[in-house]
Every structure is written in structure tokens, then in C-alpha cells.
């Protein structure tokens, strides 16, 4: 089985475990995916994550913009590499998350594919039918309302309203304020009880 890892770092012979504050996996690991297009979407230069993608019933990757020109904003003029590794290595194990594999030790690289401009490569993969891009301007009113609700919840769950001396968190808060001012305003006006209810309802929905 082939597994892939996308990163801005190029010209390396092995992947090294690392830990990112705020990630779902807190210990130092290398993350892999069997889908090279997912690895492509993980090549960005921001110290925080605000990219949303999923797979449809046919396993096709879907990238959904949460604001106008988000795809261009996140990926244009970003370069990096997609590394192919041996997924049959005993050091690589599946996680509880679908399609996510990890290793806690360095993994040798079998092949490196350099990407000069991630945005242009995504458009290429879209034209080949490997990625479906749902652009914000083409979303329905209901879809935009869902994004608004998701954003409000994310502001609270990631504690962006609380001042932080952690620079990536500061940058993320500025990003959200800039691109989602109405969601930020609503989130800032919610009571503690409203926030707890919102998060509780969301968690309950995951069990259905």
C-alpha cells in the first residue's frame, strides 16, 4: 500500500515525527493518507488549520470554500512536496480516524513529487476529476448558514476569543475576524449557557 504525506519541506530523505499544538494528535507523529490529493491539500504556509474537505460516497475528495476565493487565498504561490512511503511498514499504523495513518518513528521516503504552486496543482486535479471544489459563490443559502454555524462553534471550541500569547493562535484569531466578522460578532455575544448548549447539541449530533 502506498501512503502519502504533504509538506512545504522539500529535498529530504526521511520524514520525522513532529507535534503541533492544538492538533487532534498531540504527541509527535507523522501523518499519512492513501489519497495523494489529501496530501496536496496539507501543503500550506499557515500555522493553523482552517481548510475543510471531505469525501463523497464514491470516495471523491471535496474541498469546500468557507469564503470567497478561499482556495486561492490559502494555496496560491505555495510550494512543497508530496512524499510517497511504504504503507506496509510495521512502523505505520491506522488511527481511529478514517484514512489517517501515523508513525512515531522516522519513515524513509520512496518518492518525492515537487509541487511548484499548490493552487495550480489543485486546479489541475480538479480538471482531472480527482478533486471537487465547491466554491463559496456557488453554495446554497443553507450551505452558507451551515458554514456560519460551524464557524461560530469553532471560535468557541478553539477558544479564539480568549487572549493568547501563542503567536499561531493570535494569527488564527485575526484570520477569523477578518474573513468571518459576523460569526465573530455573534460568538462574542453568546452567553456561557448558549455556548455549552451549542457544543452539547453538536456532540449529540455526532452520535446519530
Task: Please give the domain boundaries of the chain with CATH numbers for all domains.
Answer: 2-138 (3.20.170), 141-207 (no CATH)
Work out the percent of the chain whose per-residue pLDDT is above 70: 96
Q: What is the pLDDT of residue 20?
A: 62
Range with lowest mean pLDDT among 8-22, 115-129, 190-204: 8-22
Return all residues near 76 (Cβ < 8 A) that are at least 6 apart.
Answer: 117, 118, 119
Q: What is the mean pLDDT of residues 36-62?
A: 89
pTM for the model stands at 0.90
Q: What is the pLDDT of residue 24?
A: 53
Q: What is the pLDDT of residue 55?
A: 87
pLDDT of 25 higher than 80 = no
Q: What is the pLDDT of residue 26?
A: 61
Closest CA to 53 of 71, 34, 77, 68: 71
pLDDT of 208 higher than 80 = no
Q: What is the pLDDT of residue 59?
A: 80
Number of C-beta neighbours around residue 161 at 10 A: 14
109 vs 55, which has greater pLDDT?
109
Q: What is the pLDDT of residue 57?
A: 83
Amino acid at each position: 500500500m502506498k501512503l502519502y504525506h504533504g509538506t512545504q519541506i522539500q529535498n529530504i530523505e526521511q520524514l520525522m515525527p513532529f507535534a503541533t499544538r492544538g492538533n487532534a494528535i498531540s504527541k509527535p507523529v507523522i501523518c499519512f493518507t492513501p489519497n495523494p490529493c489529501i496530501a496536496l491539500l496539507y501543503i500550506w504556509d499557515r500555522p493553523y488549520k482552517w481548510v475543510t474537505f471531505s469525501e463523497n460516497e464514491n470516495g471523491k475528495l471535496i474541498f469546500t470554500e468557507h469564503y470567497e476565493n478561499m482556495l486561492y487565498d490559502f494555496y496560491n504561490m505555495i510550494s512543497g512536496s508530496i512524499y510517497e512511503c511504504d504503507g506496509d511498514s510495521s512502523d505505520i499504523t491506522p488511527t481511529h480516524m478514517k484514512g489517517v495513518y501515523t508513525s512515531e518513528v522516522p519513515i524513509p521516503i520512496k518518492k518525492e513529487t515537487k509541487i511548484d504552486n499548490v493552487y495550480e496543482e489543485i486546479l489541475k486535479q480538479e480538471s482531472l476529476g480527482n478533486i471537487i471544489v465547491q466554491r463559496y459563490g456557488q453554495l446554497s443559502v443553507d450551505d452558507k448558514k451551515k458554514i456560519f454555524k460551524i464557524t461560530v462553534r469553532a471560535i468557541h471550541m478553539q477558544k479564539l476569543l480568549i487572549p493568547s500569547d501563542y503567536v499561531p493562535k493570535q494569527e488564527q484569531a485575526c484570520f477569523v475576524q477578518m474573513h468571518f466578522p459576523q460569526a465573530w460578532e455573534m460568538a462574542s455575544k453568546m452567553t456561557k449557557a448558549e455556548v455549552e448548549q451549542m457544543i452539547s447539541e453538536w456532540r449529540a449530533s455526532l452520535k446519530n
